[in-house]
Amino acid sequence: MKSLLLGNAAVARGVWEAGAFVTSSYPGTPSTEITMNIAKYDEIYTEWAPNEKVAMEVAWGACIAGRRSFTGMKHVGLNVAADTLFTISYTGVNAGMVCAVADEPGMHSSQNEQDSRYYAKAAKVPMLEPADSAECLEFTKLAYELSEKYDTPVFIRMCTRVGHSQSVVELSDRVEPPLKEYVKNPQKYVMMPAFARARHPIVEKRISDMTEMAENTHLNRVEMSDNADMGIITSGTCYQYVKEVFGDTVSVLKLGLVHPLPVDLIKNFASKVKKLVVIEELDPVIEDHCKKLGLAVTGKDIFPICGELSPNIIAEKLNKPFNKGQKAIDAVPMRPPVMCAGCSHRGLFHVLGKIKAMVHGDIGCYTLGATPPLSAMDTTICMGGSISGLHGFVRAGGKNAVCVIGDSTFAHMGINGLIDIGYNRSDSTVIIADNSTTGMTGHQENPTTGVNIKGEPCGKMDIEMMCKACGIERVKIVDPNDLEETEKVIREEMATPGPSVIIAKRPCMLLKSSKPNPPLAVNKDKCTGCKMCMKIGCPSLSYKNGKVSVNSTLCVGCKVCMQLCKFDAFTEKGE
Amino acid sequence: MDTRNIVIVGVGGQGSLLACNLMGRALLIEGYDAKVSEVHGMSQRGGAVVTYVRYGDKVHSPIVDNGQAELLVSFELLEAARWFELLAPGGTVVTNTQQIDPIPVIIGAAEYPENLLGKFEEKGAKVDAIDALALAQEAGSTKTVNIVMMGRLSKYFPFKAETWQKALEETVPPKLLEMNKKAFELGVNA
């Protein structure tokens, strides 16, 4: 049966068709839909883990128990799971284990542009890179076979354009691989020095065996053209761009296995073309490999390392004519993402801006607190980094500082920083913006919501008790939509020596359980046009001809603007 | 046939994912090779969103690059201007005339540009503009702007009417189906 599937959904389908039994992941754009789609299959136990390291260990434990398993994450999530990765490369697997990692050239929704292929290389784990949804499905199934054949976890490298585009796939039935009974084998699974030393040569042999496999596998494909002027080595989305621009007029070596890379296959291909070009997004991984083989190659000398490539960029750099398009007008006002109308983070960041706090921020919707007009965030690096960063800032004598972290991010990695603060007692004020969901990635459940990925009731981590257990005696809970109370509590806690946590608690307005209030209106007679309310950047407010007005289809009646108005111009409708 | 390039743009929250799925279903029912590229994550938070639709005998690139789009379909007027560069020479802008102020306009740091439809025509584009917000209200909900626009867009495809009906049935929740069918029709006939 043919179907049109998102690349991410096709990976999920591949996991299901391969007979996987356990999936554990943490959401992260552009990888989230893989696991959300796996959760739809009843045959697979699927969960959101608190972070990628936990998720990868769960998947590993499941494969050791003898069942095929899966974990999916975004590129930066792999940093979190890296400790696990490097050593499960040594232990290998029992049943197959596959890890999808989604890179994000262009940083549509990410904090950096790291290239995950380096992890495959560094951890000596094979990596497959599909170029469309059909390959997502096929490669995922094949990855399980390779995992079991070579006794290794296997990566599927995704990127935004492959994971987030729908294309046609052919669906098959699920296979049910028999249980591979767990057999006690500490030499393989207990990685203490004596055993690990014995495993390392096995890993080296494995990667060498797989390099041999790379020469002949159908994952790598040569498409020779009659025209031998130029040969292009490429993979993933870039392959599609190359075909788009050149069709069959150049020779192409399409690599589906991006680690380990073949040697003879590349040398043979190079010998048949006059000019060898490598087209890859992000870093020159394939290019460096070619150079190591002593081949003259064009690559990052003409193509950018930063950002995404595109058909036009490829055409331009390789001197093929193309339509440029033209602008309609010179300057189109930007439309950056904003906090939604009624967002529970808005009041909090207004207060932090008002008291001119130095704010260590974190990863989530609330990172938008850094943008105008709120402009109330000073740093953001990675998941959980706000709490530990604040502790260091305070220990170095930094003043007037707080940090803001969301509920899911707190459970992910924030707890570790809070343990440090509780243990080493800095005068840190940690604000946990608890909106009862993982908002930015599309409202996934998390350990603090009491609901699992399938929407069923489950265990619930109590944030307040967790903070106290970390050694924080002062834990306050405020409603961030109550500006006066929020400001009072933040000022108090910042002024009090010793560690403290403020839980700014209000569910995300987009949750089905959140019921909007009736929209507000503006009494034009009272509005003086002072624009005080415009300082919160609410998308439902606009200012024209000296007066503010409320967009009643967007306004959810959170009344944050109302609290800022000194002239009582806002009214609840019906009053 | 050659690959056709269509770009659907709008503001995060206007339902471009549903439109995307509707488009995909219709193309699959008609039996084409197709790629439909979506936007997830940060840009959905009220930001500018762009969806690429490509179909034909064999489709390679999942994205439509500048100067390649035969049709630029915009759920909001300013977004048509933002993505205008994607349009191929002589291409058509199919746009909602609704204006949604972006944050720089809301806070007074920029002005919403005037006479955009005229500017599009000056640059040689054909323009097909409708008030999709009013039509969506007529259908029963302002949230059906996306479907009104998809109805309008359907006029540019040689698909059977049943294809779109079936695609709607497969992508819209049953209790909202009648309203969305009406929205689609209003878009077609506007």
pLDDT digit string, tens, across residues A244-266? 999 999 999 999 999 999 999 99
Residue spans of chain B under pLDDT 50: none
Dump the DSSP string for A352-397: HHHTT-EEE--SSGGGGGGSTTT----B--STTHHHHHHHHHHHTT
Q: To the nearest whole angstrom, how far is the Cα of B181 from the nearest Cα of chain A?
A: 22
- B111 belongs to a structural domain: yes
Distance of alpha carbon A57 from alpha carbon B50, whole angstroms: 37
Contacts of B13 in chain A (CB under 8 A): 340
- Mean pLDDT score of chain A, rounded to an integer? 96
Q: Read off the pLDDT of residues A34-68 as tens digits, 9 standing for 90 and up.
A: 999 999 999 999 999 999 999 999 999 999 999 99
Contacts of B65 in chain A (CB under 8 A): 310-312, 322
Give the position of tokens 């960063």.
A389
Q: To the nearest whole angstrom, how far is the Cα of B71 from the nearest Cα of chain A?
A: 13
Q: Do B60 and A240 touch (CB under 8 A)?
A: yes
Nearest to A324 among B66, B113, B123 (CB): B66
Distance of alpha carbon B148 from alpha carbon B159, whole angstroms: 17
* pLDDT the model gives residue A268: 98
* pLDDT the model gives residue A111: 95
Amino acid at A7: G
Average pLDDT over residues A461-466: 98
Q: Read off the pLDDT of residues A142-152 as tens digits, 9 standing for 90 and up.
A: 999 999 999 99
Count of structural domains, chain B? 1
Q: To the nearest whole angstrom, how far is the Cα of A111 from the nearest Cα of chain B?
A: 11
Q: To the nearest whole angstrom, how far is the Cα of A137 from the nearest Cα of chain B?
A: 16
Structural domains of chain A, with CATH: 2-216 (3.40.50.970), 220-317 (3.40.50.920), 344-505 (3.40.50.970), 520-572 (3.30.70.20)
Two tokens at A557?
A: 């009646």
Within 8 A by CB and 6+ apart from A271, the residues are none
Q: Read off the pLDDT of residues A338-377 as tens digits, 9 standing for 90 and up.
A: 999 999 999 999 999 999 999 999 999 999 999 999 999 9
Dump the DSSP string for A196-240: HHHHHHHHHHHHHHHHHHHHH-TTEEEE--S--SEEEEE-HHHHH
* pLDDT the model gives residue A262: 98
Contacts of B50 in chain A (CB under 8 A): none
Contacts of A363 in chain B (CB under 8 A): none
Nearest to A328 among B27, B108, B119 (CB): B119
Distance of alpha carbon B141 from alpha carbon B172, whole angstroms: 14
Q: Do A30 and B52 touch (CB under 8 A)?
A: no
Nearest to A440 among B41, B89, B116 (CB): B41
Q: Read off the pLDDT of residues A71-127 as tens digits, 9 standing for 90 and up.
A: 999 999 999 999 999 999 999 999 999 999 999 999 999 999 999 999 999 999 999
Nearest to B12 among A167, A325, A337 (CB): A337
Contact of B189 with chain A, judged by CB distance below 8 Å, is answered with no
* Of residues A493, A473, A290, A528, the one with CA closest to residue A400: A493
Query: Which residues are paired to A434 by β-bridges?
Result: A505
Q: Do A311 and B62 touch (CB under 8 A)?
A: no
* pLDDT the model gives residue A490: 98
* pLDDT the model gives residue B44: 65
Q: Do B33 and A168 touch (CB under 8 A)?
A: yes
pLDDT band of residue A575 (cuts 50, 70, 90) is very low
* pLDDT the model gives residue A1: 86
Dump strand ranges (E) for B80-180.
Answer: 87-96, 126-130
Contact of A424 with chain B, judged by CB distance below 8 Å, is answered with no
Q: Do B62 and A165 touch (CB under 8 A)?
A: yes
Mutate to test the interface with B, among A161, A243, A332 (most CBs of B within 10 A): A332
Q: What is the pTM of this model?
A: 0.96
Contact of B11 with chain A, judged by CB distance below 8 Å, is answered with yes
* pLDDT the model gives residue A327: 97
Q: Other CB atoms closer than 10 Å to residue A331's CB: what's the count? A: 10
The yes-or-no verdict on residue A434 having pLDDT over 90 is yes
Q: Do A325 and B87 touch (CB under 8 A)?
A: yes
Residues 155-174, chain B, touching A (beta carbon < 8 A): none
Q: Read off the pLDDT of residues A408-419 as tens digits, 9 standing for 90 and up.
A: 999 999 999 999
- B176 belongs to a structural domain: no
At B182, is the secondary structure helix, strand, or coil?
A: helix
Q: Read off the pLDDT of residues A479-514 as tens digits, 9 standing for 90 and up.
A: 999 999 999 999 999 999 999 999 999 999 999 999
- By C-alpha distance, the chain A residue nearest B90 is A325
Nearest to B62 among A29, A240, A542 (CB): A240
Q: Read off the pLDDT of residues A435-445 as tens digits, 9 standing for 90 and up.
A: 999 988 889 99
Contact present, B129 and B107 (Cβ < 8 Å): no
- By C-alpha distance, the chain A residue nearest B33 is A168
Mutate to test the interface with A, among B14, B16, B60, B95 (most CBs of A within 10 A): B60
pLDDT band of residue A574 (cuts 50, 70, 90) is very low
Contact of A457 with chain B, judged by CB distance below 8 Å, is answered with no
Burial readout B51-74 (b: 16 or more C-beta within 10 A, e: otherwise): bbbbbbeebbbbbbbbbbbbbbbb
Q: Do A3 and B28 touch (CB under 8 A)?
A: yes
- B117 belongs to a structural domain: yes
Two tokens at A345?
A: 């983070």
Assign residue B42 the CATH number of its domain: 3.40.920.10
- B179 belongs to a structural domain: no
Q: Do A6 and B81 touch (CB under 8 A)?
A: no
Distance of alpha carbon A212 from alpha carbon A187, whole angstroms: 27
pLDDT band of residue A186 (cuts 50, 70, 90) is very high
Q: Do B67 and A4 touch (CB under 8 A)?
A: no
Contacts of A311 in chain B (CB under 8 A): 61, 63, 65, 68
Dump the DSSP string for A436-477: SSBTTTT-B--TTTSB-TTS-B-----HHHHHHHTT--EEEE
Residues 499-518, chain A, touching B (beta carbon < 8 A): none
Contacts of B87 in chain A (CB under 8 A): 325
Angle at Cα A256 formed by Cα A250 and Cα A262, nearest 5°?
85
Two tokens at A532?
A: 């005080």
Angle at Cα A176 formed by Cα A171 and Cα A179, nearest 5°?
150
Contact of A397 with chain B, judged by CB distance below 8 Å, is answered with no
Distance of alpha carbon A481 from alpha carbon A484, whole angstroms: 9
Q: To the nearest whole angstrom, how far is the Cα of B116 from the nearest Cα of chain A?
A: 8
Contacts of B28 in chain A (CB under 8 A): 2-4, 168
* pLDDT the model gives residue B109: 87
Distance of alpha carbon A520 from alpha carbon A208, whole angstroms: 68
Contact present, A377 and A369 (Cβ < 8 Å): yes
Contacts of A340 in chain B (CB under 8 A): 13, 45-46
Two tokens at A144?
A: 């399980």
Nearest to B35 among A166, A325, A531 (CB): A166
Contacts of B5 in chain A (CB under 8 A): none
Cβ neighbourhood burial of A389 (10 Å; 0-12, 13-18, 19+):
buried
Contact of A519 with chain B, judged by CB distance below 8 Å, is answered with no
* pLDDT the model gives residue B43: 61
The yes-or-no verdict on residue A407 having pLDDT over 70 is yes
Query: Which range of residues forms the domain containing residue B9?
Result: 4-132+160-169
Nearest to B81 among A329, A337, A553 (CB): A329
Distance of alpha carbon A104 from alpha carbon A272, whole angstroms: 33
Contact of A375 with chain B, judged by CB distance below 8 Å, is answered with no
Contact present, A540 and A520 (Cβ < 8 Å): no
- B24 belongs to a structural domain: yes
- How many angstroms separate the Cα of A355 from the Cα of each of A477, A487, A511, B116, B117? 19, 8, 30, 42, 45
* pLDDT the model gives residue A536: 94
Q: Read off the pLDDT of residues B45-76 as tens digits, 9 standing for 90 and up.
A: 788 999 999 999 999 999 999 999 999 999 99
Percentage of chain A modeled with pLDDT above 90: 95
Contact of A165 with chain B, judged by CB distance below 8 Å, is answered with yes
